[in-house]
Chains A and B, each alone.
Chain A
Amino acid sequence: DAGVIQSPRHEVTEMGQEVTLRCKPISGHDYLFWYRQTMMRGLELLIYFNNNVPIDDSGMPEDRFSAKMPNASFSTLKIQPSEPRDSAVYFCASSTRGVETQYFGPGTRLLVL
């Protein structure tokens, strides 16, 4: 299996621009998670989906962040407008057992100038 696929791997953008991060979960996995990793806050859950439905978005920092999962094989995390404090590594993970046995993607390193 190819594992969780994320794109782009690196993104550099200017403050105010829209950023879209993409994720393809492992085939057959019905849970999808979006995390953000920073030195200050560590690994934190932003939102997760079950069967393409958002279950918990309490970790989404503010209205500038939105996530969608239009089908079982694709999800996006959008930041509009982006700010320098959004600079972080964003991970997507998937599983078949809820929070258990999550498989992480390689991450997208985002730098907002």
Chain B
Amino acid sequence: GENVEQHPSTLSVQEGDSAVIKCTYSDSASNYFPWYKQELGKGPQLIIDIRSNVGEKKDQRIAVTLNKTAKHFSLHITETQPEDSAVYFCAASSDTGRRALTFGSGTRLQVQP
């Protein structure tokens, strides 16, 4: 089955700096890669996603890049703000086999004011 590895497990940045979180996946058939943000005591919230026919997608301060050859994808947050502090999860799924999201282990992002 699919295996998704996520790094780093914790990340601390100063407000205004950029943050990058990286994930690798094992199943070359995976074609959908979402990122979720989870605040304390809440459920994960989808913040951006990308399909395998696209190399990069941007939405205001967040962007996701995908390298299919290397089987890795990354989340980029620019101009970080204290409200960006949360746990971020990457995930992957394919249209074949078990059509389910496999999540990474999460990255705790702390934005220092």
Q: Which residues of A contact B (CB under 8 A)?
A: 4, 42-45, 48, 56, 58-59, 91, 93, 98-107
The 4 closest A-B pairs by CB, nearest first: A104-B43, A43-B103, A99-B93, A45-B100
A106 touches B42 (CB 8 A): yes
Known: A42-B103, A100-B32. 10 other contacts (CB 8 A): A43-B44, A56-B99, A59-B100, A93-B43, A99-B99, A102-B34, A102-B101, A103-B46, A105-B43, A106-B43
- A42 CB → nearest B CB, Å: 5
Bound Cα distance from A14 to B89, whole angstroms: 32
Known: A42-B103, A43-B103, A56-B98. A99 touches B46 (CB 8 A): no
Bound Cα distance from A104 to B34, whole angstroms: 13
Bound Cα distance from A91 to B41, whole angstroms: 11
Bound Cα distance from A99 to B99, whole angstroms: 7
Bound Cα distance from A44 to B91, whole angstroms: 11
Residues of A within 8 A of B65 (CB): none
B46 touches A107 (CB 8 A): no
Secondary structure at chain B's binding surface: helix, strand, loop or mixed?
loop
Q: List 28 A-B contacts (CB under 8 A).
A: A4-B43, A42-B104, A42-B105, A42-B106, A43-B44, A43-B89, A48-B100, A56-B98, A56-B99, A56-B100, A58-B98, A91-B43, A91-B44, A93-B43, A98-B99, A99-B101, A100-B32, A100-B49, A101-B34, A101-B46, A101-B49, A102-B34, A102-B101, A103-B46, A104-B36, A106-B41, A106-B43, A107-B42
Bound Cα distance from A43 to B32, whole angstroms: 17
Closest to A99 in B: B93
Known: A42-B105, A42-B106, A43-B89. A99 touches B43 (CB 8 A): no
Known: A105-B43, A106-B42. A45 touches B101 (CB 8 A): yes
Judged by a CB distance under 8 angstroms, whether B45 is at the interface is yes
- B106 CB → nearest A CB, Å: 7
B46 touches A102 (CB 8 A): yes
